[in-house]
Amino acid sequence: MVTEAKVSRVNAAYDLLRAEILENRMPSGYQAPEPEIAARLGMSRTPVREALLRLQADGLIELVPRRGARVVPISMEDMREIYEILFALEPEAAAKLAESSEKDQAFPALDAATSDMERALAAGDLDQWAEADDRFHRTLLASQDNKRMAAFVTNLFDQSHRVRMVTLRLREPPFRSTQEHREILDHIMAGRSDRAREIFRSHRRRAAAELLKLLRDYKFHTL
């Protein structure tokens, strides 16, 4: 019988491990046996084992027989494919939201994320900026009320977030990116779907080019 307490422990282990991976505290290629991972979290092995199975389904780790868990690296080709998918999905999501009566409900969360990006950038806090940027994109996709797409894209965001955190301080401060988020939101709220789509496409195209160039220039074959 699965108890509520057990589910809670598994969820806690999953959330902790996912955060460790996404923030690169358990970087790509990190490998450890399950007892070591459980000790790292200060938890018993059973909920950690089930959390690792979930993370394997998410594509973040792989379970290696007799060796424990390994954080899956991400290659340049992985990132190219991820950005191609996001380029197809996100601009259309922005345009659809601009044409929807639901945009007023989505606005507070999108505006909060954009404002947090602006404040974090002014304070020079790139970690907080990255969190707010990630939140903006996830909130936009969540506004589509498509559970299958949300689950699929969440996995892509998780993988790309890991790489972006590694390269974040190798780029110029993201003033332009922050301004583009504000412009996209303004066009969404004004119902200008074509402009929201156009700016989002430009935003994603430029971001992909910058990140892939960094991966190539710094010879990050995998992360």
Report yes or no: 149 and 141 within 8 Å, Cβ to Cβ: yes
Q: How confident is the model at residue 219 (pLDDT cuts 50, 70, 90)?
A: low
- Mind listing the pLDDT tens digit for each residue in 155-212? 888 888 888 888 888 888 999 999 999 999 999 999 999 999 999 999 999 999 998 8
Average pLDDT, the chain: 91
Report yes or no: 48 and 7 within 8 Å, Cβ to Cβ: no
- Mind listing the pLDDT tens digit for each residue in 99-131? 999 999 999 999 999 999 999 999 999 999 999
Report yes or no: 175 and 121 within 8 Å, Cβ to Cβ: yes
Q: What is the pTM of this model?
A: 0.83
The pLDDT of residue 135: 95
4-71 CATH choice from 3.30.360.10, 3.30.56.10, 1.10.10.10, 3.40.50.300? 1.10.10.10
The pLDDT of residue 146: 85
Question: Tokens 């074509």 correspond to what residue?
Answer: 194
Distance CA 165, CA 131 (A): 10
Question: Tokens 């700016």 correspond to what residue?
Answer: 199
Q: Is the pLDDT of residue 1 over 90?
A: no
Edge-to-edge order in the sheet of strand 31-32: 31-32, 68-71, 61-64
User: Environment class of residue 64 by beta-carbon count within 10 Å: exposed (0-12), middle (13-18) or buried (19+)?
Assistant: exposed
CA-CA-CA-CA torsion sign (178, 28, 151, 212)? positive
The pLDDT of residue 130: 93
The CATH H-level superfamily of 76-217 is GntR ligand-binding domain-like (1.20.120.530)
CB atoms within 10 A of CB 149: 14
What is the DSSP secondary structure assignment for residue 171, as one 8-state letter?
A: S
Report yes or no: 68 and 31 within 8 Å, Cβ to Cβ: yes
Nearest to 211 by CA among 194, 223, 201, 200: 223
Average pLDDT over residues 1-30: 86
- Mind listing the pLDDT tens digit for each residue in 57-107? 988 999 999 889 999 988 888 899 999 999 999 999 999 999 999 999 999
Average pLDDT over residues 208-219: 84
CATH topology agreement for domains 4-71 and 76-217: no
Q: What residue segments make up the domains of the chain, in order of their start?
A: 4-71, 76-217
